[in-house]
Amino acid sequence: MPSWRCLFTVPPSRQGVEAYLLLLARIVAGVMFSVSGWNKVFTDGGRERMVHTLVDAGIPFPVVSAPVLGGIEWIAGGLLVLGLLSRPSALLLAAICAVAALTDGIARIPAGLSVPDWLSWFFYLSEVPLGVLLLWVAAVGSGRFAIEARAALQ
């Protein structure tokens, strides 16, 4: 099976504590992205802030990119909460976290820090642990409390 197809398979359900942690991870990350995306698409202030952030980060076509990224965040976040297409949704959102950390996030780190201090700042950027959490969901699947897991049992 080609490697990209594995993103659309539903892996065996996780049991015990891991199932509850996956549910919590999906809800926290999904709600955060869904609300953030909603604001970037449907509110003037959110859209303006996003365009400004993209301009500062040097992202191309910020006026077009802002609502596209907001829409991806809104839809993928909602799918993550529901547990539908969780693996590709988590991977998309992890990619957004990586780009945000490597553009806007790094720009917020003060210059002239030692390596340990710089790493401390970097790992405290919210995008970094959130991206790692999303990569975990993309790797292991949505867990037994997801709609896709229930559908796979039938």
Q: Crossing angle for the helix pair 127-140 and 86-100, nearest 10 degrees?
A: 160
**Distance from C-alpha of 78 to C-alpha of 97, rounded to nearest angstrom:** 17
The stretches of the chain forming alpha helices (DSSP H) are 16-42, 44-57, 62-82, 86-100, 106-107, 115-124, 127-140, 147-153
Summarised one tens digit per residue, pLDDT across range 27-86 is 999 999 999 999 999 999 999 999 999 999 889 999 999 999 999 999 999 999 999 999
| pLDDT tens readout for residues 106-151 | 999 999 999 999 999 999 999 999 999 999 999 998 888 999 987 7
